[in-house]
Amino acid sequence: MTKHTPLQSRIRDQLQRRFGEDLHVGDRVNEAEIADALGISRTPVRKVLWQLQNEGVVSYEQHRGFRLADATVDTLEADGERDELLDERVMRDMALGNLSSVISERALMQKYEVPHGILMSTLRRLMRDQLVEPSVGHGWIFSDVSATALENGYNFRQILEPATILADPYFIDVEAFQALDRDHANTISNIDKLDQRRLFDLDAKFHRLIALGARSTHLVDAIERQNNIRRVNEYIGFVRLDRIRESLIEHRNIIAALLRGERQVAAALMRLHLQISKDETFKHIDEDLERVRAGELQLLK
């Protein structure tokens, strides 16, 4: 199995997102765009693309560059067999507070009794979800997703997000909000068919778009950090589809108020939405964590 550096993993994750969303089989892969998005030179991007050609994901044509040959996103997600069981075990330990310091790859391999390749596949997927990041040394840093961090995050968001909506100037991207509203409507209609990751990603996309309206990178970064903190714990709660459906309806009401230009209403609805979400989360969190501890509740499905 091929060992990838953290930079190569970042490049592969960026390519995975492009292949999954923007590109179709036969489309040209723009090396410069990938490099610019990551703030790096084209050389490491090209190196990864040559690796992907060997794996059959892209093809190379002289004077024309690389083109997408296989749109199957899973091709990028593992060097060998995808081990979702390990993903599940790591996320369970994060939820239970068992991965709260810098941990070396060797220690992780010993803890989970897996080879290096399978461990790296899981770490790459967790990096994609912004749940883990490489440390300056050779270890890995796992996000703090404890109940305390989650509660502090809700308190912070109840101040931040309504204030963001009321900030001047605030830009309402009509097309983006209309598209997001359509995504919400479609998800509500098909909620039984979607997994936790898809549901969380839509939720995170909504809150990020709210932050983008203030046109402040600091606000967007703050929302992204909160999304990371709540990701694992909200995966746990996403088994309660009735609440998720209600939450998406609350999102649509906020979007509708914004599209009408009623920012005061939207801010009030956001504050109420976050309070309901917080109450619902902590109403069940002890029970949910006990079910995770007993192995009765899957974080991935």
pLDDT tens across the length of the chain (301 residues): 455 677 887 788 778 767 755 677 778 888 888 888 777 888 888 888 888 887 777 888 877 888 887 655 444 554 434 456 788 788 888 888 888 778 998 899 899 888 777 888 888 888 877 788 888 777 899 988 888 888 999 999 999 999 999 999 999 999 999 999 999 999 999 998 887 778 888 998 999 999 999 998 888 888 888 887 787 776 676 668 888 999 999 999 999 999 999 999 999 999 999 999 999 989 988 887 887 777 766 655 5
> Cα separations (Å) of 160 from 150, 165, 171?
15, 9, 16
CA–CA distance, 113 with 40 (Å, rounded to integer): 35
Report, in this order, helix, strand and coil percent for the chain, each rounded to 5: 65, 5, 25
- CA gyration radius for the chain? 20
CA–CA distance, 262 with 270 (Å, rounded to integer): 12
Predicted TM-score (pTM) of this structure: 0.65
